[in-house]
C-alpha cells in the first residue's frame, strides 16, 4: 500500500492554516499541524478529521522561540515513526503575526516580534526540518499581497513578508539539487482575526472590498482549498514562484 503524502502545516489551528489542514486531509494527505495558544481549536479539528477517517495530529510550537526548534523536530520525527516513515513531503510555513501601525509610530519591539515570527522562524525551522523533508518534496511560504500593494500601517509586516519572498527564491535554488521546490503563496484581504482583528472593522472591510476586482474580501477557504493543488504534481514546474490568491487586489 502506498504511503499517503504527509504535510507539516504551522499555525494550523486557526485561520488559513486550519483551512489548509482541513482541505489537505480531505484530499488524502496526512497532516502534522502546529498550534501555539489555540489548543481547544486544534483538538476539535483533529477529532473531526480523524472521525472522518483522515489523519491529523497537532504539536505545540511557539514560532518566536527558535531555541525550542530542536525539540519540536524530535517531536515531528516521533510522529513520523508512528506513521511508519521517517520523512514528510510538504512543509507549509503558515504561522505568522500581523501588526498594523503607522510607520512613524512603529516600535522596535513590534518590529523585532514581526521579524522573529514571520522571517526568522521559517528561515531556521525549515533549515532544521531539512533532514526529515523528503527529496522531491516542497516548501510553501505564506506571504501577503501587501508586498506589492501599499496599505498605510503595514510597513513592518509587509517588510518581513517581502524578505520571506526573497528567501523563497534562494531556497528554491539551493534546495533544487534535492528536487525540493519552494514557492510563495500570497493571500489578500481576508475575513479573519489576523492582525488583532483589523478585518473585522467595517470601514477596513469596505475599503478592502473596493480594492479587489471580484468585489469582496476573501475567506480562509479561498486559500486553503487551493493548497492541495499547489502541492501536487500539477504545480510540479513551479519553483521560486509567487502564487497570489487575492481576488485581484489592487490591480
Q: What is the DSSP string of the chain?
A: -PPPPEEEETTTTSHHHHHHHHHHHHTT-EEEEEESS-HHHHHHHHHHHHHTT--EEEEE--TT-GGGHHHHHHHHHHHHHHTT-S-EEEEEE---------GGG--HHHHHHHHIIIIIHHHHHHHHHGGGEEEEEEEEEEEEGGGTS--TT-HHHHHHHHHHHHHHHHHHHHTGGGT-EEEEEEE-SBSSSHHHHGGGSHHHHHHHHHTBTTSS-B-HHHHHTTHHHHHSGGGTT--S-EEEESSSBT-
Q: Where are the domains of the chain?
A: 6-245
Which of 20, 150, 15, 24 lies closest to 96, judged by CA? 15
pLDDT tens for the 251 residues of the chain, in order: 678 999 999 999 999 999 999 999 999 999 999 999 999 999 999 999 999 999 999 999 999 999 999 999 999 999 999 999 999 999 999 999 998 999 999 999 999 999 999 999 999 999 999 999 999 999 999 999 999 989 899 999 999 999 999 999 999 999 999 999 999 999 999 887 765 666 667 777 888 898 999 999 999 999 999 999 999 999 999 999 999 999 999 99
Q: Supply the pLDDT for residue 50.
A: 96
pTM for the predicted model, two decimal places: 0.95
* Termini Cα distance of the chain: 47
Pairwise CA distance, residues 230 & 238, whole Å: 9
Q: Supply the pLDDT for residue 86.
A: 97
Strand order across the 30-35 sheet: 56-60, 30-35, 6-9, 88-93, 133-144, 181-187, 242-245
Pairwise CA distance, residues 113 & 127, whole Å: 20
CATH number corresponding to 6-245:
3.40.50.720
Pairwise CA distance, residues 67 & 79, whole Å: 20
- Residue keyed to cell 469596505: 206
81 DSSP β-pair partners: none
Amino acid at each position: 500500500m502506498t504511503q499517503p503524502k504527509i504535510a507539516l502545516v504551522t499555525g494550523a489551528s486557526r485561520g488559513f492554516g486550519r483551512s489548509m489542514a482541513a482541505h489537505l486531509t480531505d484530499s488524502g494527505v496526512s497532516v502534522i499541524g502546529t498550534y501555539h495558544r489555540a489548543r481547544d481549536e486544534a483538538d476539535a479539528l483533529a477529532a473531526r478529521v480523524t472521525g472522518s477517517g483522515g489523519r491529523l495530529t497537532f504539536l505545540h510550537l511557539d514560532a518566536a522561540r527558535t531555541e525550542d526548534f530542536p525539540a519540536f523536530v524530535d517531536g515531528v520525527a516521533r510522529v513520523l515513526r508512528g506513521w511508519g516513515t521517517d520523512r514528510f513531503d510538504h512543509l507549509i510555513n503558515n504561522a505568522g503575526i500581523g501588526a498594523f501601525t503607522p510607520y512613524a509610530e512603529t516600535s522596535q519591539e513590534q518590529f523585532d516580534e514581526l521579524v522573529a515570527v514571520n522571517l526568522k522562524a521559517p528561515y531556521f525551522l525549515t533549515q532544521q526540518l531539512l533532514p526529515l523533508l523528503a527529496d522531491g518534496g516542497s516548501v510553501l511560504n505564506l506571504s501577503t499581497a501587501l508586498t506589492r500593494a501599499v496599505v498605510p500601517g503595514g510597513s513592518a509586516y509587509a517588510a518581513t513578508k517581502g524578505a520571506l519572498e526573497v528567501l523563497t527564491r534562494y531556497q528554491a535554488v539551493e534546495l533544487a539539487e534535492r528536487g525540493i521546490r519552494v514557492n510563495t503563496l500570497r493571500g489578500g484581504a481576508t475575513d479573519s482575526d489576523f492582525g488583532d482583528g483589523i478585518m473585522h472593522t467595517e470601514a477596513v472591510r469596505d475599503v478592502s472590498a473596493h480594492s479587489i476586482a471580484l468585489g469582496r474580501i476573501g475567506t480562509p477557504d479561498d486559500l486553503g482549498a487551493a493548497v492541495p493543488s499547489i502541492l501536487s504534481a500539477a504545480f510540479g514546474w513551479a519553483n521560486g514562484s509567487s502564487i497570489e490568491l487575492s481576488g485581484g487586489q489592487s490591480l
